[in-house]
Structure 1
Amino acid sequence: MKVTANGLQIEVDDTGGEGRPVILLIMGLGMQLVAWPTGFVQQLVEAGFRVVRHDNRDIGLSQGFDHAGVGNLVWETIRHRLGLKVRSAYTLQDMTLDSLGVLDALGIAKAHIVGASMGGMIAQRLAASAPQRATSLVSIMSSSGARGLPGPRREVTSMLMRRPSGSSEAELVAHSIRLLRLIQSPAYPQSDEDLAERLTFSMRRSYHPAGLMRQMLAIGADADRPQVLPRIQSPTLVLHGEADALVPIACGEDTAKRIPGSKFVPVPGMGHDLPPEVCTILANHIAPFAHAAESREAKP
């Protein structure tokens, strides 16, 4: 369903019913709400939560920003490496306001904020800028954004720079599978058939590479988040795969170090994806953590 959030039309999925504590799931770069697997959502619902997912702006079925143009990614990357300000059509703080707007539209005063990758960055900003709305924060496979942290492995960066061999659905799916193979959880590999089915479903729902590029620039422009993280007061759990080839585990460790009182949990065998086994591991950490935060808040 569509809601008006922060003045934009944002696509939302709301599962679990009213009267339960809410978990807001925020997805990462270029990924749609369906990238949160249904099985993961169901595990959280069975643990007693109402689960809200949404397509971030400029991706999926939410409002796009094609009128803003794409910008020059190569030049802006050079500016970022030189320590210069990256120019972007919007900021991660704008996307944070979108997430808050989703809560507003659904009449939700507070929620457990859970974000993956870029979604973790947005979740961090939400907890820092609107502490009264975040019962707890869970940052998954994400980063503080601090300069000097390691980046993707060389082969991942090389693959990210490659263009698909063509524009047909089959060629686009094959290209995406090659990338996913580089960043997958080595302990929990998925078959090509399963990956192709999921990617095909996602592309048929929406395919908007220009939105991904603008989101990428928004990440590059988010220069002050390392200084923002110490303001977070919400109970915080940082989950990160030990085998993450896209966002190395040092990035999660740095995030946890900057957030007072946070708990860091490395996940053996996990990369930068959400196969069923990893989803179960994450849900088994998130549900008790969120329930404990709920109980602490309920005490007078």
Structure 2
Amino acid sequence: MTKHAVANGIQIAYETFGSSDGRPLLLIMGLGAQLIHWDDELCELLAEQGHRVVRFDNRDAGLSTHLHDEGVPALGTSSSYLLDDMADDAAGLMDALGWTAAHVVGASMGGMIAQTLAIRHPERVLTLTSIMSTPGPDVAPPTPEASAVLLAPPAPDRAGVQAQALKTWSVIGSPGFDLDQDRIVRMSGQAYDRSFDPPGTTRQLAAILASGDRTEQLGTVGVPTLVIHGEADQLVPVAGGLATAAAIPGSRLMTFPGMGHDLPKPLWPEIIDAITKLTTG
């Protein structure tokens, strides 16, 4: 069941999995994505490992607050908020949950937010897992093919969104694994039904571009850190993961051949095991 919390002055939609006394695990999703993009089954499997899992919609996504009054920024020239603000949203959600600290897992932009949370609020982060992410937008720029699908004009309707999603994931998904077309169609339709706000995604992208490079600041991160990246990622090439791991002292790097900018189900057992080993210390 989706709940709402007031966090950092906005409404954040979130859902929970697992026992209330489990190890707190906060999942942060990426650009334009919603909490449902953390698969139910993946969340349940993490909960089975003793975690209290919380997934949530970032600002300008899903059922959380959308900053419609901010309009559509010109990319690279302006932004109505930064990744700092999105990290503060996550800290505010932790306050609402009664969590003094949590194990934090972020994917793509969510990894950037998780990194920023560890920098800005080090006492709130028990461990950090950064998946298919990067210390800064210029560290590992997307391939031309990935840029084209990322910046394509939004589709006008539900069927168009589903067709566009299939095209997008055929480019940025994992070439070493079968493309789950049924899941992509189902999830993109479900996301459209929950919330369809292309300008919100543009505002998130503007925040990424305006937030700059975190490489030097990541050197201050002192919590156990896991960096996961696909070696075939076209949207955030593996150089982003290598740079993240190099920047954070003592971090562990895991890369997977054939993995693109998603989490192929055959890799879940190894990824869940790595996260669990990290959170159980």
Matched with 1:130 is 121
Q: Deviations over 1:256-278 (max 9, x none)?
A: 11111111111222110123223
CA distance in 2: counterparts of 1:48 and 1:188, whole angstroms: 29
CA distance in 2: counterparts of 1:162 and 1:87, whole angstroms: 20
Matched with 2:212 is 223
Quote how far apart the aligned CAs of 1:114 are.
0.5
Q: Deviations over 1:6-64 (max 9, x none)?
A: 11110011211221111100000010011001111011101011001110011100001
Aligned counterpart in structure 2 of residue 258 of structure 1, from 247, 250, 257: 247
CA distance in 1: counterparts of 2:31 and 2:59, whole angstroms: 11
CA distance in 2: counterparts of 1:90 and 1:276, whole angstroms: 34
Q: What does 1:58-77 align with in structure 2 at a 5 Å threshold?
A: 58-73=60-75, 76=76
Aligned counterpart in structure 2 of residue 24 of structure 1, from 23, 26, 39: 26
CA distance in 2: counterparts of 1:156 and 1:131, whole angstroms: 33
Tell me the amino acid that sits aligned with residue 154 of structure 1.
Answer: P
Q: Does 1:153 align with 2:143?
A: yes
CA distance in 1: counterparts of 2:137 and 2:158, whole angstroms: 37
Quote how far apart the aligned CAs of 1:194 are.
2.4
Q: Deviations over 1:206-265 (max 9, x none)?
A: 111111000000000111422211111111110101111110001110011111111111
Structure with greater Cα Rg = 1
Q: Does 1:205 align with 2:207?
A: no
- Aligned residues with identical type, % of pairs: 42
Matched with 1:249 is 238
Q: What does 1:165-204 align with in structure 2 at a 5 Å threshold?
A: 166-204=155-193
Secondary structure, in 3 states, of the residue corresponding to 2:30? coil
Q: Deviations over 1:131-159 (max 9, x none)?
A: 11111000000001164x33112111122
Tell me the amino acid that sits aligned with residue 111 of structure 1.
Answer: A
Contact 2:19 2:47 (C-alpha < 8 Å) held by counterparts: no
Higher mean C-alpha displacement, 118-127 vs 195-204 = 195-204
CA distance in 1: counterparts of 2:167 and 2:23, whole angstroms: 38
Matched with 1:297 is none
Q: Deviations over 1:81-134 (max 9, x none)?
A: xxxxx4201010000000001100010111101000000011001111111111
Contact 1:37 1:274 (C-alpha < 8 Å) held by counterparts: no
**TM-score of the aligned structures, taking structure 1 as reference length:** 0.90
**Unaligned regions of 5+ residues in structure 2, if any?**
none
CA distance in 2: counterparts of 1:126 and 1:225, whole angstroms: 11
Tell me the amino acid that sits aligned with residue 35 of structure 2.
Answer: L
Name the count of aligned residue pairs.
279
RMSD of equivalent CA atoms: 1.3
Matched with 2:221 is 232
